[in-house]
Amino acid sequence: MKKKKLGMILVTGAMIVIIANTINYKMCIVHGVSMKPTLQDGDILRMKKYKGTIEHNDVVAIAAKNTKSDIQYLIKRVIAYEGDQLDIKNGVVRVNDKVVVQSADITQKINLKIPKGKVFVMGDNYRRSYDSRDIGCLNLKDIIAYKSIPKK
C-alpha cells in the first residue's frame, strides 16, 4: 500500500511540474547563425513566456511570418524598447546616450526614438543577422518568450 501511495505522489508531482512548465515556459530552437557566438544553430532554449516585462539585453523569441505563411520565431537580443532614443553610426550603438555595442561589423546609420509598443532587436552576429536594422522596430505584442543570456 505504501509503494502505491508513493507512486501516486511521484506521478502527481511530475504532472504538476510538467503543467507549470507548459504554463510558464516555452521551448525555442535557434535556427541559423545570427546569435553566434552566444547561441549556436540548433541550441534549444527554455525561455519564460512573455507577460509584459523585459529588460535591455534580454534575448527574446519573436513571432515572425515567413514566406510559407506559417509562424517562425526570431531569436534576437533587445537593444532598445519604447521610449528609448537609439543612435547607430560609425559602428557604435547608443541607447539613451549610453554606448551598448561597438563593432566594425555594424555599418548602418540609424537615429530614432523607439515608438510606443515597439522594440528594437539585433542578433549578436552583427554581420550576419536579419534584425531591426533591416526590418525596423517590432511589436512588443509579438514577443513570445524571453531569457537573460549574457553575451559571449
- Between 96 and 72, the more confident residue is 96
User: Residues near 2 by Cβ (< 8 Å), separated by ≥ 6?
Assistant: none
* 8 has pLDDT over 80: no
Q: Which of 145, 151, 149 is nearest to 74 (CA)?
A: 145
Location of C-alpha cell 528594437:
120
Question: Taking the model in full, what pTM does it have?
Answer: 0.83
The reported pLDDT for the residue numbered 60 is: 97
Nine cell digits for residue 11: 506521478
Determine the Cα–Cα distance for residues 60 and 31; give it in Å rounded to an integer: 14
- The SS3 call for residue 108 is coil
Determine the Cα–Cα distance for residues 106 and 127; give it in Å rounded to an integer: 7
Strand partners, 48: 25, 146
The reported pLDDT for the residue numbered 68 is: 53
* Amino acid (one-letter) located at 98: K
Confidence of residue 29 (pLDDT cuts 50, 70, 90): confident
